[in-house]
Amino acid sequence: MGRTPCCDKVGLKKGPWTPEEDQKLLAYIEEHGHGCWRALPSKAGLQRCGKSCRLRWTNYLRPDIKRGKFSLQEEQTIIQLHALLGNRWSAIATHLSKRTDNEIKNYWNTHLKKRLTKMGIDPITHKHKNDTLLSSDGQSKTVANLSHMAQWESARLEAEARLVRESKIRSHSLQNQLASSMFSSSSSASTSLIIINNNKQESSSSSPRLDILKAWNNGVSNGIGDLESPTSTLSFSENAPPIMATTSGGGILGENTIPMIEFVGCSGSSVKEEGDQEWKGYESSTNLTEYKDGIMENSMTTFTCGLHELTMSMEGAPTWSGSHESLRANDHAIAEQGFTNLLLNTNSGDDRSLSEGGGDSNNRDDSGSGSGGDFYEDNKNYWNSILNLVTSSPSNTPMF
């Protein structure tokens, strides 16, 4: 079918916005909200199409936008999330406080991509260009497994990002509805929580949606050789009572956290999100768990995460079953040394540009000093640090 233009483009202004136009748009939205973008321009007295108004608002005028230079932490987060999510800028933006997808996209294209390229890292695959040299040994297999898991997590994060958006729609009503149940259940010290933050701006600061990845991080760092087995399970303690999701206007989760998606364990074998949230994204993209009509079937007790069996303690802290726990101490040491040093710490200048000199040891392509083992170490550290993004989440993360 033919697609009608979003608006009558005849006579509409294009190009940069003037301060007067910004003021008109701001004033209108502050008073009325944006409502239907298509109808907004005429109501606001703007000679723009609705799409242009929406973009101007979401990318520039919105009051909760953070502008200015990206911090080192933000840079690292972008790169790490890009390794997981690819060019899904909106999904990446959900994890970066007050940054728009457009801004992140521009920053990636103009800064970070070039930096990675100069380092000899493919900005698309996030693999070292000489990875193919490792193709004959098991190390590359491990790297491939890591990539596979990253793809898995990518799909999951994408679905979660979609959930976050969708959950906003019904956030207020759910808050009111669930407030009472929170108080009725929060007295139980053994209540476990799975919470998806619905607030885009807050989500990045608390990073509550990377639970499986976090668990995986522990597992990968502690026993990378175990990657051969892709289908172990994430499970919740059998001793734990039926999961009763709670919501909180403050309390456990803090004032700024607005949990909206809740899973209420039913007989310990199914998870139900209150309401009629569709879970098609999970079902189609991750092929891990079936969600039907809000029911996550048979998933609370055996949630496939790909690597290790994770047991949720009653306090919500994850503990690896089996022998992994004793190895966990290596996790942060491994993760902290790799990527950041590799990419960021070498660029201490204000402009954070890469050293162009041939003597830069980080530029392995040019120096030729890197052995296959070094590449492997880089890859391991690289992915570990990607995963370490999760472990670096603020302490108020409600997930664990």
Partner DNA sequence: AAATGGCACAACCGCGGGTCA
Partner DNA sequence: GTGACCCGCGGTTGTGCCATT
Judged by the rule CB under 7 A, the positions of this chain that interact with DNA are 1-4, 6, 13-17, 35-39, 48, 50-52, 54-56, 58-60, 67, 87-91, 101-103, 105-107, 109-111, 165, 280
CB of 87 to DNA, least distance (A): 4
Closest CA to 214 of 156, 134, 253, 169: 156
Distance CA 348, CA 133 (A): 31
Distance CA 134, CA 49 (A): 53
Assign 95 to helix, strand or coil. coil
Range list of H helices, the chain: 19-32, 40-44, 50-56, 72-85, 89-93, 101-107, 113-118, 138-169, 171-185, 200-206, 211-222, 280-286, 330-337, 339, 364-367, 372-391
CB of 340 to DNA, least distance (A): 21
CB of 88 to DNA, least distance (A): 3
Give the helix/strand (H/E) hosting 260.
Answer: strand 259-266
**Closer by beta carbon to DNA, 69 or else 148:** 69
Q: How far apart are the first and last CA of the chain?
A: 49
Distance CA 387, CA 400 (A): 16
**Closer by beta carbon to DNA, 88 or else 141:** 88
**Closer by beta carbon to DNA, 120 or else 318:** 120
* 196 contacts 292 by C-beta, under 8 angstroms: no
What is the number of alpha carbons within 13 Å of residue 317 lying toward its C-beta?
6
Q: Which two tokens stand for residue 40?
A: 């907004």
DSSP, residue by residue, 314-355: TTS-EEESTT-GGGTTHHHHHHHHSHIIIIITT--STT-PPP
Closest CA to 246 of 234, 238, 237, 258: 258
* 330 contacts 298 by C-beta, under 8 angstroms: no
